[in-house]
Every structure is written in structure tokens, then in C-alpha cells.
Amino acid sequence: MDPNLPSARAQVVTPEAAARIITCSQAFRGQRIGSKTEADQLRAQVDELKRPAPTKWITARIATLLTHYFAADIPPQVQEAIAADWVAALRGNPAWAIARACQWWISAENTARRKRPLPGDIEERAAIEMGPVRVAEAVLGFGIKSRPEIDHTREPRGGEIPLERRRAQSQELLGSAVSWPEARRESKGEK
């Protein structure tokens, strides 16, 4: 079943939709969230991206993947057992992650693409594809980033310090510093 078909769209997130969601939020790259609204939006996105693929979708997608590889005539009972192995390995994974894992397997990026994949191969790659979702879950676990309070009574820093005052501080530091050759002689006990 093609995830782009209307009947499948209501049930699964396509790889393209997942990519749009992941690239539109900095939280999927580890940036903390700054408000409850952002947290609620991120939680909804994570929940959508984690929605498991239906069993029928998994079997159809794996059947499509395996048609790229030669297989002798396999009895229907054996085909059902093979499908059950694939479903057991991939159950709980979202359709978009499985689809991206299958696309990766047959792509030029995968040096083992000429070999028929095993269920664990696609399961492992689907877990890699889910990496940004795990990052977003960690961000949610950190909570909302608190805004730092501005202390108006503190000393100014860097460019905020007037130039004359910075020069005076620099001269004071330089005046108290010991030159390298002089410090070396003192450490050896020389005069």
C-alpha cells in the first residue's frame, strides 16, 4: 500500500510529511522549548510521528521491498510465516520510518543493497530514522526553558564597560604581570 494513497494517508505519516515536521522545529535537533504552547505543539508532533504503522501497511511495504530481490516459488504458508516475522520485527514502528528505512536499503548509500534484507536490517535502520523523535522527546523531558532574569545591579560586561575603564583595568593587569623570562628565572631560583 502506497503511503501517498488517500486511504493510507489517514492512517500513516508519509516520509515527506515526517521530514517537513522534523525540519520545521528546532526541538528535533535538541533546542529547548520556551513556552507551554511550544511544548503542546511538540508533544502533538511527536505523537503523530510515533503512530505505529498498521499491520496491513507493513506487509504491503515489505512485499514491495522484497520484490526487488529474486525469490523462488515460495508456498503460501511460508510466505505468511515470513510476513509474520517482518510484522513482529517492525510492529510499533511508524510507517514513515519503515518507508525511509526501505528506501535507504535499496539506495546507493547502502553498500549491502544487493543483498536481500532481513527484518532486523530494516528494524535497525527504522530506529536510526527515529533519532530526531527521540531527541524531541528528550527536549520535552527537559521542560520549558526558563527565561533568565536580568540583574540590573550587576557590573556591565564586555562592550558595556566604558573604554577608559577597560584600558585602566588592562594596564593594571599588565603592570602586575611578570614577563616569561623573569618568571622562568624565579622558578629556577635564579636572580
Pair 122, 90: CB distance under 8 Å? yes
Rounded to an integer, the average pLDDT of 58-64 is 95
pLDDT band of residue 149 (cuts 50, 70, 90) is low
174 to 162, 177, 178: CA distances (angstroms): 19, 5, 8
pLDDT band of residue 63 (cuts 50, 70, 90) is very high
Q: Could you tell me which residue, 128 or 31, shows the higher pLDDT?
A: 128
d(CA 111, CA 121): 13
144 to 39, 48, 139, 151, 184: CA distances (angstroms): 7, 21, 9, 21, 52
CA 105 to chain centre: 19
Rounded to an integer, the average pLDDT of 70-80 is 88
Q: Is 132 exposed, middle or buried (0-12, 13-18, 19+ CB in 10 A)?
A: buried
Question: What's the pLDDT score for residue 81?
Answer: 95
Full-model pTM: 0.70
pLDDT band of residue 58 (cuts 50, 70, 90) is very high
pLDDT band of residue 142 (cuts 50, 70, 90) is confident
Pair 130, 137: CB distance under 8 Å? no
